[in-house]
Structure 1
Amino acid sequence: MSPTPQERLDDVLLACRRIQEYVADPTLPETVVHDAVRMRLIDIASSVRSLPPAVTAREPAIPWAQVSALAERLTRRPCDTPASVLLSTARTDVPVLCEAALRMRARCG
Structure 2
Amino acid sequence: MKTTEEHDKRMANMTFASVYPHYITKVEKKGRTKAELHEVIEWLTGFNEKRLQELIEAKATFKTFFKESSLNPNAKLITGVICGYRVEAIETPLTQQVRYLDKLVDELAKGKKMEKILRST
Higher relative contact order (Cα pairs below 8 Å, separated by 6+ residues)? 1
**TM-score, shorter chain, exceeding 0.5:** no
- TM-score under structure 2 normalisation? 0.35
- TM-score under structure 1 normalisation? 0.37
